[in-house]
Chain A
Amino acid sequence: MKVKIIVKGTEGQETRNVDIAASGASLGEVCKAAGISTKDKDFTVDGKPATLDTHVGKNMPVEVSARPQGS
């Protein structure tokens, strides 16, 4: 299964594509496979708020974002 991950940081945005052997995986497993740090991040799966336990299935885009807090 191919998963598209959009990573938004304070200095840039990038898209990563990762291959997952199974037909589904948890968001935590997907991020680990893509080499993305999950510390203090905000997640969505298929456009909905998610946690590291959220199931990621086929054709479900993932977004990982830093958390801005400035004014």
Chain B
Amino acid sequence: MGVPKLTVWDDDDVSEHNIPMSAYRLEKDLMRAKVEALREIVKEATGLLIDIRKERYAGQEPLAGPVVACVDTMEARQAVWRSVRMNTDVDILIDTRTAEKLLWVFSVSPCDHEDAAYYDRHVSYGTKQAAPHMCGQHGWMPMSYRAAGLVAENLTTWWMSGIKVLHHKEYVASPVTAQEAP
């Protein structure tokens, strides 16, 4: 995508359940820090050496440029939003959210008052007021790849034309349901 600089924050290590729905490699990356494994994967694939922070983002550094939030809790999103809202150094925030087969992707212009108000409504509630994480349903590859595709679509459309793709919400049917359809 032509990105010359990329900073990734994540305090987590690669677990078995991450392997089927991501680019992490079973034989190389299991139990490694996600950011370190990702740096190696991106370097091999593109030549870009990304900047990594093996910690959760909680406002400890100012954010600039496009920001993509792929986090697990509403509180983590709120921490990102506090650093992004009305921040003139951030041109776009993209937030992906999944719960089993439900997918939301927000594309927010942080300094657009209407956009910020819309996102305020969708980030104001806590983790307990959102769908709980279901054991064994942590991730589903078609969902993860669809979310990643929407992030890429949002970013490339924004960079190439300055047009922000609208917020996106959908239920992604399972393959079984798709086969049953006429």
Q: Mark A29-66, 1 if CB is under 8 A from B, else 0.
A: 00000000000101000000100000000000000011
Residue in B closest to A68 when the chains form the complex, CB atoms: B99
- A68 engages B98 (CB within 8 Å): yes
Stretch at the interface among B49-57, B83-91, B121-129: B121-129
Q: Tell me which residues across on chain B come within 8 A of A13, comparing CB atoms.
A: 171, 173
Residues of B within 8 A of A4 (CB): none
Are the C-beta atoms of B118 and A10 separated by less than 8 Å? no
Q: Using Cβ atoms and an 8 Å threshold, which residues of chain A touch B32? A: none
How many residues in A have their beta carbons less than 8 Å from beta carbons of B? 16
Contacts of A69 in B (CB 8 A): 72-74, 77, 97, 99, 127, 130-131, 133
Most chain A CB atoms below 10 A, which of B96, B102, B121: B102
Taking A10-B134, A71-B70 as given, write out 16 further A-B residue pairs in contact, using a Cβ cutoff of 8 Å, ordered by the A residue number.
A8-B102, A8-B169, A10-B137, A11-B101, A13-B173, A40-B131, A42-B122, A67-B97, A68-B130, A68-B131, A69-B72, A69-B97, A69-B133, A70-B72, A70-B133, A71-B71
